[in-house]
Amino acid sequence: MVWNKSKLQKQYQSKKKLNFLFFWGHQKAKDHTISKSCFSQWWSCQFKDEAYTYYSAEQYMMSEKAKLFNDTTIREQIIDCRNPKQIKALGRQIQHFDQSIWDKNKYDIVVQGNLLKFSQNPSLKKYLQDTKNKILVEASPVDKIWGIGRAEEDPKSMNPLLWKGENLLGFALMEVRELLNKEKNSSL
């Protein structure tokens, strides 16, 4: 993991200027332009790995979660489903789930899924790369793992020392951005 909450808190304490980009929600704009909602795991877009076509990063994450715990029945249901809310519910039904194993693997799975998502969708890739060095923050008031456990409007969201959550999705997206930028620079 390139970024984490502790590293960000140290930068904040050292008075380094931090430029946050808050996101939460997955609804596409009425004019179909790309917006920060594309960072959501529930954002609808198509991408592939060597075996399957996915329609959201949530679907990829839950499919890989089922694979990790050898639950082929739930994995097939996840692959056949396109509704992220239903996919999330299926992910909670995975047999032989072990939290410690999931905790060791979940971040890398989300990085890989988002690398596929953004690398295979040029407009999304450009949007992510155009965030430059901004700190990407999932301002979910309800998610303390993937988000910060606070809404964007909450003044405490500007202070990582006061975040209730880990912001794993934001950090995973920043890692994907770095990987895509390295790929771009190596091809020049």
Structural domain tally of the chain? 1
Q: Hey, which residues does 136 pair with through a beta bridge?
A: 21
Q: Hey, which residues does 135 pair with through a beta bridge?
A: 20
CATH code, domain carrying 110? 1.10.357.40
Query: Hunting for tokens 């380094």 — which residue is that?
Result: 16
Domain with 138 in it: 5-10+18-186
Predicted local confidence at residue 186, as pLDDT: 74
- 84: Cβ contacts below 8 Å, ≥ 6 apart: 26, 41, 42, 56, 58, 59
Predicted local confidence at residue 15, as pLDDT: 93
CB distance 61 to 48 below 8 Å: no
Low-confidence ranges of the chain (pLDDT < 70): 188
Q: Kindly report the average pLDDT of the chain as a whole number.
A: 96
Predicted local confidence at residue 27, as pLDDT: 86
Model-level pTM? 0.95
Predicted local confidence at residue 188, as pLDDT: 61
Q: Which amino acid is it at 90? A: L
Which two tokens mark 52?
Answer: 């399957």
- Among candidate residues 38, 47, 99, 43, the one with its CA nearest the CA of residue 69: 99
Phi-psi domain of 47 (left: phi exceeds 0; alpha: psi -120 through 50; beta: other): beta
